[in-house]
Amino acid sequence: MPWKESTAMSQRSEFVVFASAPGSNVSEFCRRFGISRQTGYKWLRRTEPGSGPELEDRSRRPHNSPGRTPPETEARVLAVREHYPFYGGRKIRRTLLRQGVERPPAASTITAILGRNGLLSPERRRKRDWQRFEASAPNALWQMDFKGHVPLSRGRCHPLTVLDDHSRFSICLAACADEQGATVRQQLTQAFQLYGRPERMLMDNGSPWGAPSGQSVHTRFTAWLIRLGVTVAHGRPYHPQTQGKDERFHRTLKLEVLSRRSVWHSLDEMQAAFDAWRYEYNFQRPHEARARVSSFALCS
């Protein structure tokens, strides 16, 4: 039983005085002070000569931690995080493997290292109340959307993103001047020439491919896709999680590209940044589905 915090030192002192007196009954004094005999004998040993600080609380921290990550390994983890400030435990572990580290720490250990160095984002992943889905093969389904407009020093940029649902391969990342159907057709035509046409495309209900009301009315743009043999699907109105993979891509794009500059001057400047980051995202960034990126390349 622990000592009362407010009088711990005085209680310990009294106990030691009474219990160490010649002929005293240590068990009886332990009962009176409301402590176990193990605790009583511990404090009696603390008062022996050469035992160090007598009645003060000592740290419960172990003298050594054989399972703790070596300092040099922890330093490498922090170096990767500094270079890629948005990587978590799993991506940092894959990066260490790629750098030649034979036995990198587990992803959970890396997360703990980031935590004790104050590098974890306060935003934590919450439980989702919807069920995830995934297309069975590359080009079975593409997700497409505009990532809200981005102000330029003169004008606006409307980033168009197209993502393969199975592999999460970034098929198109275009800095567009508008959100018109002709602009999207031009970008998709180039994507079809490079990667082939998908079986289906999933979009929200916004212009130019849908009706905000969610009614199943085809636009000129969706009619164009249907004539090409592409099945068109729309998410439920006000349910962006239907296109969760593309929404997650938008979040990463914002963190790693858009938010890292305070001012963008032109569409060409933004497109150059998009092209460089898209290559890194597709071919250098550690992905959980990295093998499927290769399968997408073979399929296209």
Q: pLDDT tens, 142-166?
A: 999 999 899 999 899 999 999 999 9
In this structure, are 282 and 153 located in the same domain? yes
In this structure, are 235 and 106 located in the same domain? no
The single-letter DSSP state of residue 105 is P
Query: In this predicted model, which residue has the larger pLDDT, 41 or 125?
Result: 41
In this structure, are 177 and 35 located in the same domain? no
In this structure, are 36 and 90 located in the same domain? no
Please report the pLDDT score of residue 56 as a whole number.
60
Q: What's the whole-number mean pLDDT along residues 263-271?
A: 94
In this structure, are 105 and 149 located in the same domain? no
Q: Confidence class of residue 129 from pLDDT cuts 50, 70 and 90? A: very low
Question: Which range marks the domain in which residue 24 is found?
Answer: 5-46
In this structure, are 39 and 96 located in the same domain? no
Asked whether residue 24 is assigned to any structural domain, the reply reads yes
Asked whether residue 213 is assigned to any structural domain, the reply reads yes
In this structure, are 179 and 287 located in the same domain? yes
Q: Which CATH number does the domain housing residue 278 bear? A: 3.30.420.10
Asked whether residue 29 is assigned to any structural domain, the reply reads yes
Separation CA 91–CA 107 (nearest Å): 8
Quick check: bond before 208 cis, omega within 30? yes
Res 50 pLDDT > 50? no
In this structure, are 217 and 263 located in the same domain? yes
Determine contact, residues 211/217, Cβ cutoff 8 Å. Answer: yes
Q: Confidence class of residue 64 from pLDDT cuts 50, 70 and 90? A: low
Asked whether residue 159 is assigned to any structural domain, the reply reads yes
Asked whether residue 123 is assigned to any structural domain, the reply reads no
In this structure, are 100 and 186 located in the same domain? no
Separation CA 202–CA 110 (nearest Å): 36
Q: What's the whole-number mean pLDDT along residues 248-277?
A: 92
Res 53 pLDDT > 60? no
In this structure, are 212 and 249 located in the same domain? yes
Q: Confidence class of residue 178 from pLDDT cuts 50, 70 and 90? A: very high
In this structure, are 146 and 279 located in the same domain? yes
Report how many domains make up the chain. Answer: 3
Please report the pLDDT score of residue 185 as a whole number.
96
- Which residue in this structure is represented by tokens 């180039």? 190
In this structure, are 185 and 260 located in the same domain? yes
Please report the pLDDT score of residue 265 as a whole number.
93
